[in-house]
Amino acid sequence: MRSIALKEFEKLPEDENLHELDEGELIVMPPRMARHGLVQAAAMATLAAGARDGSGVVVGRCGFRLAPDVVLAPDVAFIVESQRNEVQWNCYPEFGPDLAVEILSPDDNAGRLQRKVNRYLAAGTSIV
């Protein structure tokens, strides 16, 4: 892991890895296993079914700029309709999603997960 500025992070090429930025620290995560994908798809489908009433939109692995040098990408996120209108879809939304879903992987650790939860909550996310 290495330190980079937000401007450099925004210019990273899209590849098969997921990239996050945590206080300038670049975090690179390889593609997840099939079970992770199944759980993610189920969570997205469940939330999307509930959002059919127009209450908001469900996105997957979309980066959110939670602080000046923090960009996290929950596995699944729900953005309420009132915030949806504030999103510029060609850049990172500068708020926490209303709901952030993080699916645990075998290589996750409690400290890193708690740090992410704290970052989402501090940025206005209601439920993680």
pLDDT tens, residue by residue, 84-99: 888 888 899 999 999 9
User: What pLDDT is stored for residue 42 in this prediction?
Assistant: 97
- The structure tokens 């040098």 sit at 69
User: What pLDDT is stored for residue 1 in this prediction?
Assistant: 61
Mean pLDDT of the chain, nearest integer? 92
Residue 102 tokens read as 């993080």
User: What pLDDT is stored for residue 80 in this prediction?
Assistant: 94
| DSSP sequence for 77-114 | EEEEHHHHTT--TTS--SS--SEEE----TT--HHHHH
Burial of 96 (0-12, 13-18, 19+ CB in 10 A): buried
